[in-house]
Structure 1
Amino acid sequence: MSVTAVVSFDTVGQIATGGGEAVTWSAVLALFFLVPYALLFAETGAAFPQEGGPYVWVKLALGRPAAALTTLFYWVTNPVWLGGSLVFLAAESWDGFVFHLGSGTFADYAFKLLFIWAAILTAIVSLRRGKWITTAGAAVKVLALGLFTLTAVLYGAEHGFAGLADAHFAPTTAGFLALVPILLFAYVGFEGPNAAGEEMHSPQRDVPVALGRSSAVAACCYLLPVLALLAVVPPGKLTGIGGFMEGARLVFGVYGGASTSVLTLTAVMFVFALLTQGSAWMIVSDRMQAMAAADGGFFTRRLGVFHPGLGTPVRTNLLSGAVATAFMLVAMQLADGDAGAVFAVVLTVAVTTLLLSYLVTVPALVVLRLRRPDVTRPYRVPGGRRGFLACAALVYAWILVGSWSALFPGVLDELFGVTYDFQETWGVSRALFETFTLGTVAVLLLVGIVGARGLREKVDRGTG
């Protein structure tokens, strides 16, 4: 589940657009963000394994209102992401390598609707069965990335690694500010399986081990394919939405007459991996949101009901599907149908809402560590309390920079004297970008406040 959720296929190409320093910053964040982040959540997840994960942690530390709003931002990231960047990337790949869909056609809409609701259906079925679908997705994802990386090495051995000569691995301020939000988005999510903590056989034992293994897998699944893309794809040819598959089109030429078949199979694997990636996040985030609703933190407790036979929050799953569908329809009208611009902007919306949720979650972990030292902790961060606090401070600093850069791209660049062309970078105007990102955040804040207040009023009247 962790590998399926955290290794984000849709971000590989986007990260690679940062050039050689994308590898440098990926390695830096793996060491100075991913490691302390994994340590924090390994200790907390093993100590507090209750169903609902981060919702429970924030509630215990900071109260139900803070937990409800944090969970809303965490949850909504996933239907926005599913109905935005994931479905657009899947459709673009299917259209280019499997079967022509066109843009804005009936086939295009049908594919995107089918993709969204297939992911939701996977979340609706019982975890006993659904976990095998996401496990298959994790295996396919690692296989596809491994196949691409190995083939890129073979291609480079035959044609040379021309891209490395102009990759420019030296880190820069501009590269740092551009890459930090997407890299943080790529590396977070290991706490997700704790949303189904009570459905694990032994969360106290399994959570730390799973985090350690999946962290190592995630770091390799980003660093190696990104390095391979940069080595073989000509500079300036990488795009966020087409990066991985366009790179595959180039390097799979080494298979001669079989290249077309291998490329088509890889595209199918790529789309399946994207689908299960969305499913994994739906499984965990819908459980968190359902727990918030059942606990009185979101509109109606009915959204928190788990199906007696399936054991899943079907009503919240269906709500996620509706939000994803609505977001897809809105995104189709964005940027005059420019799929690349839609992909980048919608991905940034998902990055923003997710990172904002961690601005509350990380302090909650610190509060739990300081106020509840008596709770049994099967795993502890090295260095005890000081080690825990040092990790939390480092993680929080990264999240602050990433959140600001995602919400207001270019502002820190200009502060540090770095030239920033917004239209050229994003393909849309700053006004349209900020309307979409800040507008989404404002709507979520309003929904969270109204939802929690409305439910409290129903409870006070005895009707909730």
Structure 2
Amino acid sequence: MSEETKTGKGVKKVYLGIFALAMINVAAVLSIRNFPSMAIYGWSCIGWYIIGTILFLIPISLAGAELATGWPEGGGVYAWVKQAFGERDGFIALFCEWSNNLVWFPTVLSFIAATLAFALTPNLTSSPLYMFTVMMIAFWGTTAVAYFGENASTKLSNFGVVLGSIIPAVVITLLGIWWFASGQQLVLPEFSLGEIAPEINLDTLPFFATVVLLFAGMEMAGFHALEVRNPQTDFPKAIGISAVIIFFCTIAATLAIAFVIPANQLSLASGVMQAIQYFFDSAGLSAFVGPMALLITIGGVVNLAAWLIGPAKGLGVIAEEGNMPPMFDRTNKYGAPVAVLVTQALIGSVISLLYVFLPSVNQAYWILSAMTVELLCIVYFLVFAALIKLRYSQPDKPRPFKIPGGMPGVWIVGGMGAVGVVFSFIVGLMPPSYYDNTIGYVVAVLFGTFVLAVPPLIFLKLKKPSWAKGANKEVAQDE
């Protein structure tokens, strides 16, 4: 859990414990909404998850543990990449992680609204007004919680991730076991080791990028380094706990869904609730579908909150160092970066409005979604490169957790992660089957990625001495 002490100004200082840190990572990564997209691959989803675990989950977990314990100054990926390659590259890494959220927010918000509809009336999902209203309540409500600082956000993560992600994943898994043990018909073929192997071809290659980045977010706890009393010991334990929870909950719950719903009938938007409806109806527990929908809705909100506050805090650190105009350095008495939170909420709201009310933008939105993959690949490539570089440039820096195996071990972990994200970047440029203009698609994705990644270079070019902390800093003392 978290601990509190009084600072010299009489403001409570929140210290995060191992459980709180682990829940931040689980909240960011364990997303039930991803299970249906994996369940359509049946037994081979195990093989896909193993690929993602080997090429990304394990490397980013080990890299995050070493970097967070060696450089716990706050700022997450910004602090790590800055130490290795300088201020500019650190700024680019953090900004890419923040800007990709702006397009991602509407997808998780629509999942929240669609899931909540199962607790009310499923037909509501066809109402743009309902969808947008619930999306905005969730978005601005979560932003309001982040406004009250680390204590409020931590409480939401601690209890919300258990209620909304872990419990539903466990319930889905137990129902899958019951389905299997009671002799119910499985829609999957008979299990064999050959069924686990994923089929890799030109059609499934674009999916590879999705699989690798299913575990994106394992570095989220690093943004909270300044709120940890003993980061050198607590970070490795928290990352290990969260990785185990994420891996087993993800595989077990995905297979449970694959047991009962044929791939060609599985809705990627509401597949989780489809499976729960099947399970509960068969067990005579239909009355519990609504409460489960509420729990999963909470899980979606917690997932949103983790990505909403983490990169925003990192951007606040960059602004404090004078690399952005003073308005982005604006914080309140709780230490929350209010200007960044409001800015991303306004931009996310506009994109959500277009997403709900203008279905004709679907193709453009697909391109934007591809950009989020490319942006995350840039972030993680820089993180893995920083891991290797810092072993050479700062070999004597105390690292309470060090990747075992010396330099070969670091090269294996960092190299494997870097290769995974580079390959994901390349296949992420492959258009979906219904796009005829491949060159146009690739150019659009690359240009959009450039536009979303280049602002740090502009800010640094326009940087003024007056932007530095203490020069013209505005601190909101809201009561």
Structure 2 counterpart SS, 1:408: coil
Q: Does 1:325 align with 2:333?
A: no
1:13, 1:240 within 8 Å by CA — same for their partners in 2?
A: yes
Q: Does 1:153 align with 2:177?
A: yes
Aligned residues: 442
Q: Does 1:392 align with 2:414?
A: yes
CA deviation profile, 1:219-264 (whole Å, cap 9, x unmatched): 11211111111121123112322221111111121331x31x2111
Look up the equivalent residue of 1:329 and give its one-letter code: L
Q: Does 1:205 align with 2:229?
A: no
Structure 2 counterpart SS, 1:422: coil
Look up the equivalent residue of 2:230 and give its one-letter code: S
Structure 1 pair 178–232 and aligned structure 2 pair: CA distance change class (3 A):
farther
Q: Does 1:173 align with 2:200?
A: yes
Q: How far apart in 2 are the matches of 1:102 and 1:431?
A: 35
Structure 1 counterpart SS, 2:283: helix
Match of 1:270 in 2: 296
2:326, 2:472 within 8 Å by CA — same for their partners in 1?
A: no
User: How far 1:435 sits from its partner (Å)?
Assistant: 7.8
Among candidates 57, 60, 66, match of residue 83 of structure 2:
60
Structure 2 counterpart SS, 1:173: coil
Q: How far apart in 1 are the matches of 2:337 and 2:347?
A: 16
Q: Does 1:142 align with 2:166?
A: yes
Q: How far apart in 2 are the matches of 1:14 and 1:343?
A: 18
Q: How far apart in 2 are the matches of 1:34 and 1:118?
A: 31
Match of 1:413 in 2: none
Q: Does 1:186 align with 2:211?
A: no
CA deviation profile, 1:114-173 (whole Å, cap 9, x unmatched): 111112122221212220111112102100011011112222334534222188433221
Match of 2:309 in 1: 283
Aligned-residue identity in percent: 21
Matches within 5 A, 1:328-339: 328-333=352-357, 335-336=359-360
User: How far 1:105 sits from its partner (Å)?
Assistant: 3.5
Structure 1 counterpart SS, 2:404: coil
Match of 1:117 in 2: 140
Q: How far apart in 2 are the matches of 1:295 and 1:285?
A: 16
Structure 1 counterpart SS, 2:254: helix
Q: How far apart in 2 are the matches of 1:435 and 1:109?
A: 31
Q: How far apart in 2 are the matches of 1:152 and 1:459?
A: 56
Among candidates 241, 244, 265, match of residue 216 of structure 1:
244
Match of 2:434 in 1: 422
Q: How far apart in 2 are the matches of 1:303 and 1:386?
A: 41
2:42, 2:255 within 8 Å by CA — same for their partners in 1?
A: no
User: How far 1:28 sits from its partner (Å)?
Assistant: 3.0
Q: How far apart in 2 are the matches of 1:355 and 1:112?
A: 27
2:156, 2:302 within 8 Å by CA — same for their partners in 1?
A: yes
Match of 1:105 in 2: 128
Q: How far apart in 2 are the matches of 1:330 and 1:448?
A: 26
**Greater percentage in helix:** 1
Match of 2:95 in 1: 72
2:110, 2:131 within 8 Å by CA — same for their partners in 1?
A: no
User: How far 1:47 sits from its partner (Å)?
Assistant: 0.8
CA deviation profile, 1:291-310 (whole Å, cap 9, x unmatched): 12222333x13312332x21
Structure 1 pair 459–129 and aligned structure 2 pair: CA distance change class (3 A):
closer
Q: Does 1:91 align with 2:118?
A: no
Match of 2:69 in 1: 46
Structure 1 counterpart SS, 2:187: helix
Q: How far apart in 1 are the matches of 2:182 and 2:71?
A: 53
Any gaps of 5 or more consecutive residues in structure 1?
411-420
Match of 1:414 in 2: none
Match of 1:378 in 2: 400
Q: Does 1:316 align with 2:344?
A: no
Among candidates 373, 378, 381, match of residue 356 of structure 1:
378
Q: Is the deviation greater in 362-371 or in 349-358? A: 349-358
1:137, 1:277 within 8 Å by CA — same for their partners in 2?
A: no
Q: How far apart in 2 are the matches of 1:94 and 1:429?
A: 38
User: How far 1:347 sits from its partner (Å)?
Assistant: 4.9
TM-score, with structure 1 as normaliser: 0.87
TM-score, with structure 2 as normaliser: 0.84
Q: Is the deviation greater in 447-456 or in 46-55? A: 447-456
Among candidates 446, 458, 462, match of residue 454 of structure 1:
462
Look up the equivalent residue of 1:190 and give its one-letter code: M
User: How far 1:97 sits from its partner (Å)?
Assistant: 4.3
Structure 1 pair 46–132 and aligned structure 2 pair: CA distance change class (3 A):
same
User: How far 1:270 sits from its partner (Å)?
Assistant: 1.0
Match of 2:6 in 1: none
Structure 2 counterpart SS, 1:239: coil
Structure 2 counterpart SS, 1:181: helix
Q: Does 1:367 align with 2:389?
A: yes
Match of 1:163 in 2: 187
Q: Cα RMSD between the aligned structures?
A: 2.7
1:123, 1:280 within 8 Å by CA — same for their partners in 2?
A: no
CA deviation profile, 1:4-60 (whole Å, cap 9, x unmatched): 111122222222233432221102332343223211211111111111121011112
Q: Does 1:305 align with 2:333?
A: no
Match of 1:227 in 2: 255
Structure 1 pair 440–12 and aligned structure 2 pair: CA distance change class (3 A):
farther
Structure 1 pair 215–207 and aligned structure 2 pair: CA distance change class (3 A):
same
1:145, 1:225 within 8 Å by CA — same for their partners in 2?
A: yes
Any gaps of 5 or more consecutive residues in structure 2?
1-23, 474-479
Q: How far apart in 2 are the matches of 1:347 and 1:361?
A: 22
Structure 2 counterpart SS, 1:27: helix
Look up the equivalent residue of 2:34 and give its one-letter code: T
Among candidates 29, 47, 53, match of residue 30 of structure 1:
53
Q: How far apart in 2 are the matches of 1:74 and 1:319?
A: 15
Structure 2 counterpart SS, 1:40: helix
Q: How far apart in 1 are the matches of 2:379 and 2:118?
A: 35
Structure 1 pair 201–79 and aligned structure 2 pair: CA distance change class (3 A):
farther
Q: Is the deviation greater in 196-205 or in 351-360? A: 351-360
Q: Does 1:441 align with 2:449?
A: yes
Structure 1 pair 436–329 and aligned structure 2 pair: CA distance change class (3 A):
farther
Q: Does 1:133 align with 2:160?
A: no
Look up the equivalent residue of 1:54 and give its one-letter code: V
Structure 1 pair 376–247 and aligned structure 2 pair: CA distance change class (3 A):
same
Structure 1 pair 32–450 and aligned structure 2 pair: CA distance change class (3 A):
closer
Q: How far apart in 2 are the matches of 1:433 and 1:91?
A: 30
Structure 1 pair 226–429 and aligned structure 2 pair: CA distance change class (3 A):
farther
